[in-house]
Amino acid sequence: MGQVSANHILDRREVVKTLLADRNDVLVVTGLGSASYDVMAAGDHDNNYYLWAAMGSATMVGLGIAKAQPDKSVVVVTGDGEMLMGFGSLATIALQKPANLTIVVLDNGHFGETGMQVSHAGHGIALDQVAKTCGFGWTDEIRDIDGVHQLREQIGARNAGVKLATVKIKAENPPRVLPPRDGSYIKNRFRAALGHPPI
């Protein structure tokens, strides 16, 4: 199978900036690497929970936060490589059905952090269809900016259940915009934004 890069047309930074514009109190969990850089480039925020050295964990962290904060909208922004590492989490999340959780997979069809090798998604594995099969309430594959705007509207929706969108982006490596790397600082800043003391 060849790669499907011709179908990956959106600019990752534009996608994330559009998605998080006027986000209010939305809680954001980032997959490690490029997804974290994209969220940071869109603007640092106390409600951002950046993950470092936690490959495959973003969706499960998002699930935990969504269950602990049912009145808040929680968005996980991650890449196809990181999502593939946490593949089994989709089944667990589907069974838990947190209606306040939205997973956004920035899919460039490559493992961007290890040398841009073609990923399973680049060979045709459709992560949104996997989520749909698991039982997610709403899934989509997005290839244009109008779809990103529609995805943004879904973040606050509760009637659709748990949601996942695969957003097809260009296979490129824009300059890194590094978020804070101190895990204790990130954790305590996030807790403070939710009204909790540091630990």
Phi then psi dihedrals of residue 36, to 5 deg? -65, -40
Residue with tokens 């705007």: 149
Distance CA 21, CA 55 (A): 26
Q: What is the 3-state secondary structure (H, E, C) of 63-84?
A: HHHHHHCCCCCEEEEEEHHHHH
Cβ neighbours of residue 140 closer than 8 Å, sequence gap 6 or more: 128, 147, 150, 151, 165, 166
How many angstroms separate the Cα of 122 from the Cα of each of 59, 99, 131?
Answer: 20, 29, 17
Cβ neighbours of residue 68 closer than 8 Å, sequence gap 6 or more: none
How would you write the pLDDT of the chain (199 residues) with one tens digit per residue? 344 445 558 999 999 999 999 999 999 999 988 999 999 999 999 999 999 988 889 999 999 999 999 999 999 999 988 888 898 999 999 999 999 999 999 998 755 566 556 665 656 678 999 999 999 999 999 999 999 999 999 999 999 899 999 999 888 888 999 999 999 999 999 999 999 999 8
Helices marked H in the chain:
12-20, 34-41, 58-68, 80-85, 89-96, 127-134, 145-155, 183-193
